[in-house]
Chains A and B, each alone.
Chain A
Amino acid sequence: MSVKIYIPGDSGAVAVGADRLAAKLETELNKRDLDARIIRNGSRGLYWLEPMVEVETKSGRVAYGPVKPSDLDALLDAGLLEGAEHPLSLGLTEEIPFLKRQTRLTFARCGITDPLSLEDYRAQGGLAGLTNAVAMPPEAIVAQVTESGLRGRGGAGFPTGIKWKTVLEADGAQKYIVCNADEGDSGTFADRMIMEGDPFVVIEGMVIAGIATGATKGYVYLRSEYPHAINVMNRAVEIARENNILGTSVLGSPHGFDMEIRVGAGAYVCGEETALLESLEGRRGVVRAKPPLPAHKGFLGRPTVVNNVISLASVPIIMDKGADFYRDFGMGRSRGTIPVQIAGNVKHGGLFEAAFGMTLGELIDDIGGGTATGRPVKAVQVGGPLGAYFPRELFDTPFDYEAFAARDGLIGHAGIVVFDDTADMLKQARFAFEFCAVESCGKCTPCRIGSTRGVEVIDNIRDGIEPDKQVALMSDLCNTMKFGSLCALGGFTPYPVMSAFTHFPDDFRPASMSQAAE
């Protein structure tokens, strides 16, 4: 039997040379007439070790990384196929501390299986949740998801079960499930990883959502910046259709559900659910005023569930293992696990899935290993471009929706971007306004105009033009945007701006003044 060698096809691994490495290994194996097969798996999420090569041995999978094509000769000579020792050896994959410390529920299969092998998917527990769901009345599925405590992982944290219940109870001959795969926040890549590494779990979650709410059609709205994910999801949908996971009779049951992948066109605001629906309908991605809620009038004016990729991908395990199993992880009202994405200037960047409740400091210093540059950590931005910058003094904040809100921050899509002490926080605040100006849909005035005025105000602060007055203006502007904007783009831009100012006031003093102070 041939040896199985795994090299991720994940775009994070490909970006650092996984394709070239796989091609070279294939050539080498042929040249040496070795009986081995290369499988392009998803990533385990240990990005500083990518491209990470794994070999299946009798005692388990053994990892090596990061591997360059030029390392292959020596690796093969040392006995790569037997999992032999080598300077690049990381030992048994499952024993690598970054991985061993995790609780992988949503990402249980990611990096382990061949993403497009339905056999692998089933063998690793896939479809168990859907198999249970097809035999249950919709109300019971909704109840189970509600009891699990699952909240929207896209950022808003709204209880998933309540959203589903609203759609289930809404009148409508046609209902929809829309999967929000417009992950545009810097520092986040969990959606991309799961779509590339375990696409069937997203599909399974969507089918369960359909059965639970009476929706028979689903759409994944996937951003164009993720071409690899688009390819994998499209292929996975075809395979699911060929195997009756999608179609008129889901797993041979009376339930019908089918879905399509739709590609966005490069607009950050389309991650907001109503702008996403407008875009999906073929219009400008302009935010809708709520109410009506999408659950009542969503896609084409019909009852629609809009859920994030990770929310939907978390449903199969809940339907498999039960609401209690899932709810028993976490703290307070933040139940289950959260795939935290540790990124930016960090030594051990990657995906770390664990129960809610770890502190921010634990994630950055302990798990992330501090900065990649080796300098002190100055600030971390949690929750994407609309998330607050936290200083080291707030590193005791536990990962929990309410705990972050209590400190004027947000978990968002659980992305953490680390900055070292060379970061200029005035520049970061300026960028937040600038980004809002570039991406504003233009519907409401505070966001459309406030963002541009915000850039000007910060430039004035930087240039020392009436700084006190400008700071008052900035605070007032942020207040107007926070309470006057229709959606989170304008409404949350004040978080990065004001947190940068509150926690790093020195960076907001004009250059002449800070020099004078020294």
Chain B
Amino acid sequence: MEKRPLDAEIASTTQAIVARSKALEGPLLTILHDVQEAFGHVPQSALPVIAEGLNLSRAEVHGVVSFYHDYREAPAGRHVIKLCRAEACQSMGGDELAERLMGLLGLDWHETSADGAVTLEPVYCLGLCACAPAAMVDGEVLGRLDADAVSELATVVRS
């Protein structure tokens, strides 16, 4: 199988991550963040390695991964747009902007475009409530969004 070397690479990288953080009090979230940082998602084949390293069952590790919104089972698109959907942004027309962006990208929440260019995620508050509506694009914060800014954003992530 083609995948084997990849799994071996995942296993060795994950082992190194586990070894580095194992001594922390309550290390699992830190380890999962590092694994996601390394691979862009938390690969299935990393789970048994983490479970063994922390003396947990695989089910326990899977339970944690699936509980939190941040952890991905598959890699995201090259650009990740997180658009705030919480009340402060709603009060400034956030819902209309969300509709517009979804239409421009042809995506629903949590979806990645077929060409792998962009992933659209909802986020509930970026703490930019006094500069609403707000978004985070590839880790960069954007405030006071309007229809033009959203159109420009859609063009930029598609290029």
Contacts and interface: CB of A to CB of B under 8 A. Distances in A.
A372 B92 contact: yes
B132 to A, nearest CB: 6
A11 B29 contact: no
A283 B63 CA distance: 8
A50 B70 contact: no
A428 B87 CA distance: 8
Nearest to A439: B124
A225 B126 contact: yes
Nearest to B27: A282
A344 B68 contact: no
Contact of A350 (B70, B71, B130, B136): B130
Given A12-B131, A225-B123, A262-B29, A186 B63 contact: no
B17 interface: no
Interface in A426-454: 428, 431, 435, 438-439, 441
A281 B30 CA distance: 10
B127 A264 contact: no
Nearest to A285: B67
Interface string B23-52: 011111110110000000000000000000
Contacts of B127: 11-12, 183, 188-189, 191-193, 225-226
Given A225-B123, A266-B68, A50 B131 contact: yes
Contacts of B64: 282-284
A415 B128 CA distance: 12
Interface stretch (A160-168, A417-425, A470-478): A417-425
Interface residues of A, number: 64
B71 to A, nearest CB: 6
B141 A266 contact: no
A300 interface: yes
A399 interface: no
Given A15-B143, A428-B87, A284 B63 contact: yes
Nearest to A228: B141
A184 B125 contact: yes
A381 B89 CA distance: 13
B155 interface: no
Interface string A481-516: 000000000000000000000000000000000000
Contact of A11 (B69, B92, B125, B128): B128
A385 interface: yes
A39 interface: no
Contact of B68 (A267, A342, A346, A415): A267
A365 interface: no
A441 B90 CA distance: 24
B157 interface: no
Interface in A343-381: 343-346, 349-351, 372, 381
Given A16-B144, A185-B125, A265-B68, A279 B91 contact: no
A149 B67 CA distance: 38
Contacts of A263: 29-30, 33
A285 B126 CA distance: 20
Interface string B56-78: 00001001100111110000000
Nearest to B95: A427
A167 B56 CA distance: 30
B126 A187 contact: no
Contacts of A16: 131, 143-144
Contact of A265 (B25, B26, B70, B128): B70
Given A183-B127, A187-B87, A417-B88, A282 B132 contact: no
Contacts of A260: 24
Contacts of A191: 127
9 contacts: A189-B128, A264-B70, A268-B124, A281-B25, A282-B27, A343-B88, A372-B92, A381-B87, A415-B129
Given A187-B129, A419-B91, A441-B67, 8 more contacts: A12-B127, A186-B125, A187-B88, A189-B130, A280-B29, A299-B26, A342-B130, A417-B87
10 A-B pairs with least C-beta separation: A282-B28, A349-B130, A15-B143, A186-B86, A343-B129, A265-B68, A266-B69, A47-B130, A344-B91, A266-B70
